[in-house]
Structure 1
Amino acid sequence: MTSFSRKSVGCSVAVLLGLSQSAAAEGGFFDWVHGDWYLTVGASGIVAPRFEGSNSRIFTASPIISLGKAGAPARFVSRNDNISMSLLDDGPVRAGLTGKFLFARDNDIDDLKGLDPVRWGGEVGGFFEIYPTDWMRMRGEVRHGIRAHNGIVADISADAFYDVTPTIRVSGGPRATFATAKYFDAYYGVSASESAASGLSRYDPGSGLKSVGVGGAVNWKATDKITATVFSEYSRLKGPAADSSLVKERGSRDQLMFGVSATYRFDFQM
């Protein structure tokens, strides 16, 4: 495991242990669980690159799920936030568990023929977010791959937001993603046998910066429980992703996606 991997795992474990100790100090786990909770569910329809690094796009749909203890409403929620369970929600600071479902990448299209398929799987880890001002949120996620890959992925973002009306909000800001070699190997690596079968140059990636970009959204709070969003994201592949023969010879460093989403919030007690 690289030094980047060890640091990422250490940060994730430290955050989660700290949250568990905090919950215990406030009266024990069961006392912490008792109370009002919310579950937000929904879906998004997205026009995005056919695969990571592709120069063509396809329409896909994905679920949106967020679970946490009820309290003061979150100041800001982004469609980039992965499935989240808040364990600490204290005004300007929020932290907890996060996860992401990963769809399989088959090799049934011309650009991927000869490459090993990537199995469906997921990523689990922790998130931490903070509001340095009343109009900006900064969020970080660190996740470890399961089944699809065995690497570690870290997302960092900052979003400024402004309420045009009481029900319409615009937001946007920069993003960056880092990953370890095992992640890049699954999605961007080309082994000797894959090179012979696909015609792509052999490529053995390391760890590092995956992409930098910017995104924006317009949110409409239709009711107290229903929210609809229009969004767009652009990212520029960097480092091990940009250097991949899959991207250089058959894809593009420029990745653009856009779409719409809708969510509904359920309130319940435990």
Structure 2
Amino acid sequence: MSLKTRVILSAALFSIPLVTPAFAQDTNSPAEPPPPAPEIGGDSFSIAIGGASVPTYEGSDTNRFVPVGMIRGSLSGINFSTRGTRLLVDVVPDKPGPGFDFQLGPVVGINRDRTSIKNIRDIRVAALGDRKTAVELGGYIGIGKTGVITSDYDKLTASVSYVHDINNAHKSYLITPQIDYGTPLSRKAYVGVSASAVYAGSGYARTYFSIDAPGSLASTLPVYSAGKGWKNFSLTGLATYSLTGDLTHGLAVIAGVSYSRLLGDFADSPVTRIAGDRNQLLFGAGLGYTF
């Protein structure tokens, strides 16, 4: 693997902050950017652990601290990464150095939002009861360009993913378009930003944001029927700094922050408007190691 490719790859490996609800409870915001694309035949593996402050449920106005972690890597030209409780695999190898690359592959994961009422501090939302763990399966497609603005090493990527619950939890789908940009500032430092939005199906809206008559009686929150639509948009920023060596190997510190705002019926739901907050702020930090 060339030095140029290793710099791009290793920076991208830790370009996703340990700061999203997906790491703690997989509330699907923000979206998963495509895995990095190394030179064919160049194997690598990265692991990170840390902690983050995340909402107690999607739409909550209180946060809790949780441990978080991720792995990313490449094996024989096949790239893979975890995003919280999701695994993405890019099955399309691309050429090293500046230029365009295409991403395509499966996405599989679980959504554990509101699966344990003991983690929900608002007693009204807790009174609505637990939700079943969703198993979400789908795929993504994207296109990236390396060598865009600052140097031959920065990268701009546009992608869209689709997943559907196959475990009869919310029995619905999520569509997530996203744009990512990242650039190394030096051999030791890397920064990145991303913007995304999530379109949720009616089953998702009903499961997590609607309140039926029995639920209203138990929680004192009003009856509410949420419909499909744009659920939220998110903006994320991050930074990585190598502590031992450079971005291509060794130990690095990672920190980031993500802001998400719920929209439409998801923002107007009583679990958000009365018991929570449409504005969701997440932040965290961790240590990563690239082999």
If the TM-score is normalised by the length of the shorter chain, which range does it land in?
0.7 to 0.9
Among 117, 128, 132, the alignment partner of 1:119 is 132
2:207 partner SS: helix
1:240 partner SS: helix
Once superposed, what is the RMSD of the aligned Cα atoms? Answer: 2.9
Q: Identify the residue that residue 250 of structure 1 maps to in structure 2.
A: 275
**Given the two structures, how large is their TM-score scaled by the length of structure 2?**
0.69
Among 120, 129, 132, the alignment partner of 2:142 is 129
What amino acid maps onto 2:54 in structure 1?
A
CA distance 1:81–1:94, shift in 2 (3 Å): farther
Q: Identify the residue that residue 214 of structure 1 maps to in structure 2.
A: 235
**Given the two structures, how large is their TM-score scaled by the length of structure 1?**
0.74
- Judge which range, 94-103 or 166-175, deviates more: 94-103
2:271 is aligned with 1:261: no
2:224 partner SS: coil
Q: Identify the residue that residue 103 of structure 2 maps to in structure 1.
A: 94
What amino acid maps onto 2:233 in structure 1?
V
Give 5+ residue unaligned stretches, structure 2: 1-40, 96-100, 148-154
Structure with larger RCO (C-alpha < 8 A, sep 6+): 2
**Which structure 2 residues correspond to residues 1-270 of structure 1 after superposition, within 5 A?**
38-66=44-72, 68-71=74-77, 82-91=86-95, 92-103=101-112, 105=114, 106-108=116-118, 109=121, 110-132=123-145, 134=147, 135-147=155-167, 148-222=169-243, 224=249, 226-265=251-290
What is the alpha-carbon distance in structure 2 between the residues aligned to residue 243 and residue 83 of structure 1? 31
2:266 partner SS: helix
What amino acid maps onto 2:162 in structure 1?
V
CA distance 1:262–1:78, shift in 2 (3 Å): farther
Higher helix share: 1
What is the alpha-carbon distance in structure 1 between the residues aligned to residue 105 and residue 276 of structure 2? 36
What amino acid maps onto 1:240 in structure 2?
D
Give 5+ residue unaligned stretches, structure 1: 1-34
What amino acid maps onto 1:166 in structure 2?
R
**Residue-pair matches, total:** 230
1:187 partner SS: helix
CA distance 1:205–1:48, shift in 2 (3 Å): same
Q: Please tell me whether the aligned partners of residues 185 and 204 of structure 1 are also in contact (alpha carbons under 8 angstroms).
A: yes
The CA deviation string for residues 14-72 of structure 1, in whole angstroms up to 9 with x for no partner, is xxxxxxxxxxxxxxxxxxxxx77555443342101111000111111233234543449
Q: Please tell me whether the aligned partners of residues 78 and 90 of structure 2 are also in contact (alpha carbons under 8 angstroms).
A: no
What is the alpha-carbon distance in structure 1 between the residues aligned to residue 108 and residue 252 of structure 2? 22
